Amino acid sequence: MSLPRRDFLRYATAAGILTASSRARAGKARPKVVIVGAGYGGAACARYLKLWEPRVEITLIEPNPRFVSCPMSNTVIAGLNDMEDITFPYDSIKAVVDHFVADSVVAIDPGKRSVTTAGGKQFAYDRLILAAGIELRFDQIKGYDAAARKVIKHAWKASPDQTGVLRRQLEAMPDGGVFTMAIPMAPYRCPPAPYERISLVANYLKKAKPRSKIIVLDGNQDIIAKKELFLTAWKKHYGYGTDNSLIDYRPGNVAVAVDVAAMKVTSEFDDVKGDVINLVPPMRAAALTALIGARTGDGGNWCPVDYRSFESTEVPNVHILGDSILSNLSKAAALANNSGKLCAWALSEIFNGRQPDPAPVLTSTCYSASSDHTAFHVATVFRYNPEDKGMDVQPGGGVSSEESEKELVYMRGWARNIWADTLGLPKGYRFTNRF
């Protein structure tokens, strides 16, 4: 039985039959690909594109000196890990790409197919990949200006200045103090993450400051991800639903203002003070996508794409990965990682004069910790539907029936695997995370 050329190439590449030299001997001009952002989507795309089409000249532009993981960052806030446990070098990525540029992009010219960095460098491209994440909309919350942001942290882009500072604020909070968290209306990056943060902060307070409590102002009408699992865990571990509950959850409360002098958050219904305030603002696609007119969906907040290649439907030759896209796909690390691979494969086909897979499949797995010894997950499978040009949920996914200690072990393994896969960490890399 003979295989079609497309399938042979896919299987042969996976098996390592097609080497870099055999592809390079094709003698075709080197396509230029510029990737902006070395997060879960951009770094994975760079790695796999170079693996599947080595002749491509890849320029990867990233302003941060090291990779800091948003997944598992809640464990740092809760004192279960340190910042170094979720921080990794870009050494392996730098060794793979042709040019690693430590800079920020300030201008894009889709007509000339070029990008300009803050340092004044210009890079031409045949294909541009924007994997720049999300833009936090501080302007949507009155008083959340630059001065307020020095005190009140969102910690939704993991960094020492955000994640690390919020951890220290919790440590300094007196026993009997109040931790106030405000959650924006969906869509936002990682739907279960606020509820995981509540769980792990409650875990910390229960042990270290048992007279304290958490007040949650949720802009959504209810818990929007893994609801029953979180509620069950809150009742079991933190007394939720009783007079002694550590968690005071208030749905349908959109934060509209903050007063840093009074340490007060104002919603449509409540004025809530906190010794520590964790205010997460609304989000939209990264500002770079607006520069080129790609941010047109959902009132101009998110970017519509062709899911077969993640090419923008608004701007040709520009592909958008990760949290910026307009989609029913979760805004999650696993989706960003897998969409980076799908985009890489599609480009390897395009650069060889072939069409991308007409019905690609994406998967997403997301773990949430509910205490210092339990976790649970949700897994989803999506397939492209050519009729409505969307991604349909397929059989094969599911959600945990209950939290367990075993799932926490799986969560740790999942994190280490996705870090290694995204960044190409060397075999035997010494992970230090203990949670």
Query: What is the domain-level CATH number for residue 37?
Result: 3.50.50.60
Q: What is the dihedral of CA 44, 50, 56, 59, to 10 degrees?
A: 50
Question: What predicted TM-score, i.e. pTM, was given to this entire model?
Answer: 0.92
- Regarding whether 277 and 146 lie in a shared domain, the answer is yes
Backbone angles phi, psi at 123, to 5 degrees: -135, 125
Strands (DSSP E) contained in 280-342 are 283-285, 305-306, 311-312, 318-320
Measured distance CA(434)–CA(412) in Å, rounded: 8
Residues 219 and 302 grouped into a single domain = no
205 found inside a domain: yes
171 and 252, same structural domain?
yes
Domain-embedded: residue 381: no
Query: Taken in order 37, 42, 44, 47, is the CA torsion positive or negative?
Result: negative
Same domain, 19 and 124: yes
26, 111: one domain? yes
Do residues 52 and 13 make contact, with C-beta atoms less than 8 angstroms apart?
Answer: yes
In a domain, 364, yes or no: no
Print pLDDT tens along the chain (435 aa): 344 444 434 444 444 434 444 444 445 689 999 999 999 999 999 999 999 999 999 999 999 999 999 999 999 999 999 999 999 999 999 999 999 999 999 999 999 999 999 999 999 999 999 999 999 999 999 999 999 999 999 999 999 999 999 999 999 999 999 999 999 999 999 999 999 999 999 999 999 999 999 999 999 999 999 999 999 999 999 999 999 999 999 999 999 999 999 999 999 898 999 999 999 999 999 999 999 999 999 999 999 999 999 999 999 999 999 999 999 888 999 999 999 999 999 999 999 999 999 999 999 999 999 999 999 999 999 999 999 999 999 998 999 999 999 999 999 999 999 999 999 999 999 999 999
Indicate the number of domains in the chain: 2
Give yes or no: residues 66 and 103 share one domain. yes
- Residue 252 CB coordination number (10 Å): 14
Is residue 386 domain-resident?
A: no
Structural domain range at position 230: 139-281
Last residue of one domain, picked from the residues 313, 339, 356: 356
Asked if 161 and 131 sit in the same domain, the reply is no
Domain boundary residue among 333, 356, 379?
356
Mark whether 61 and 113 lie in a shared domain: yes
- Same domain, residue pair 151 and 255: yes
**103 and 157 within one domain:** no
198 close to 181: Cβ distance less than 8 angstroms: yes
The verdict on 66 and 152 lying in the same domain is: no
Query: Domain for residue 189, yes or no?
Result: yes
